Structure 1
Amino acid sequence: MTAPPLLELTNISKHYRVRENSANPFAKPKTLRANDGVNIAIERAETFALVGESGSGKSTLGRVALRLLEPTSGSVTFHGSDVTGASASELRAMRREMQVVFQDPLGSLNPRMRIGDIIGEPLRVHEGVRGTELADRVAELMTSVGLDPGRASARPRALSGGQRQRVGIARAISLHPKLILADEAVSALDVSVQAQIANLLVELRERLGLTYLFIGHGLPVVRQVSQRVGVMYMGRIVETGDIREVFEHPAHPYTRALIAASPTPDPTQRRERIILRGEPPSPLDLPSGCSFRTRCPIAKPVCASERPPSVSVGASRSAECFFPLESQAPR
């Protein structure tokens, strides 16, 4: 019998009522659809990545998944339990197994605390660990993420950006979670350090059986750490599937453009240049039908009148597009 997904998001929407002109108190509020009918299932011990331009709704979706934000509609199931309907006490118990690694490694750490105290705080609070046992557990965690335990007395500002992110990772794994939300966890780091942290995340997943929801926009790192990927555009996942299949044979025209715009480490590799027409639409005034149609090179009249369904493209992929296979043809 196949095990159910560790994390499942079903028809998740997160809407906000905002005024387009905040200076005018009499302006009629509009609906901002940060997430709009999103479905994701993440298996145990896999890394599922969310990619897309800034403002696509990736981080909002990650926070809804952990119920750091309340969804407008839809449901979240984690390890067989309903997250959206959980009581406060049930949610506290779940969050021991759902941890976050944030984008800004300095801003997410208390500058007044020493590194050892930051890493050991969850152990003190949740497990009552003290004294020599706590020091030993902290030293073990520091070693496991590539930090010298001798730096336990240092404060965050004494460390490099990569070292601070290792502190955040050590803290996140201290309670042996099942799921880690890595929200742009490497985007604030130098390119060489990004690769090191990405390698660490992969190694910890393999050694500890972790599951990641990895949010990022640097496609080389996303490909390095992930097994599957969901491509977001204006609050919806427009393509999802096996990382290699999606990157090598994108089915959605937006995915194709996103990959074409990504830098490649090989200067001899020739990559097709795709220029999207126009600007992204306002999230307060999305076009009818397919929200990508105003920029899409293969848009047809049906794209303006109907929202495209999610269709299977091979065994391991799906795309929200009326003409997904056409996006793979050279133009």
Structure 2
Amino acid sequence: MKTGVSYFARSRLKHMQEDMEEIKRNNCNFVVHTFSEQDLEFYKGTIQKLVEISKIAGLEVWLDPWGVGGVFGGESYSQFVSKNLDARQISAEGNSIPAACFNNDKFRSFMQKWIDAAVEIGANNIFWDEPHFYIFEENVEEKIGTTKWSCRCDSCAALFKKKYGYEIPKEMNKDIQDFKEFSVANFIEQMSSYAAKSNVKNSFCFLPLEGHVGGIRNWSAIAKIRTLDIIGTDPYWPTSRSVTEKEVALRVSSFSKKIKALSDEFKKEAQIWILNFRIKNGTENNVRLAVETAYKEGIRNIAAWSFYGTEMMTSLASDDPLLVWKTLGDAYKEAASREEVQKMRQ
């Protein structure tokens, strides 16, 4: 049974050491450290020491390209896209977008340098966190006929014409939808293969959405990638107090079943992420329920975002971070105990 949590607090090494020990005590056996562009440029040595501290505490260490290029999940800005305008996504309407293009060679080269750094500082696992093309709020689903989509840069235009035999159109069509999915999958295949050469494992997290949002419609296109070891998603529920436990369980169950089926088909390890931010007073039990639901659906790799109810970020902090953290730890302990009992019965 694998249980983990993400961590993006930055403090004195003494305090980070105490946090890693706390994570271990709270029934976690791995930690996902964010490794943003800012970390890469200014805090690489600090992150290396944090990785060492984490391993001493008994934790497996994953690194997350948090917000890198503006195409991965995370509350972190990208300097790459501000310095490399020629590597940015271009919308169908011709506008430059603050997100790197998956098909741009300069961005791929930058990501390989990020991987090199992650390997150098001791990552056990690279966590490919929700990679996606830029999402237009006014047309999230990118329906056929819309011009609210990206990317239509020179790199994409050339690759599209080579693949489909005609100029890339401005209005969304089925070929563009397929091309975007191909582009993300090709990018992840190249990056995960590059990381795997250094004996680092690769994990992938899907956006918990249906349709063409962000470019990936058919999850099998990603799940079949040989160098991915773990596939998962983060079916976070609305944090309103009006959301019922039944609704929470249904959402987590639905996506857990989808991930479990994919992992079985492509012989991957299945992972589900549990909401641990913006938890309202009185709804903390949803955390326990979500862990329990994922476990019942056969998930044996469960992680939460983020450490200590995300107390360190005011925009995401839970109302009672300590209670959220304790609830998560208790739920992890219960799941691990169930797993031990199940193994004994086999």
TM range (shorter): 0.3 to 0.5
Higher alpha-carbon Rg: 1
- TM, length-normalised to structure 2: 0.37
Give the structure with the higher percent strand: 1
Larger RCO (CA within 8 A; separation ≥ 6): 1
Which structure has greater helix proportion? Answer: 2
TM-score normalized by structure 1? 0.38
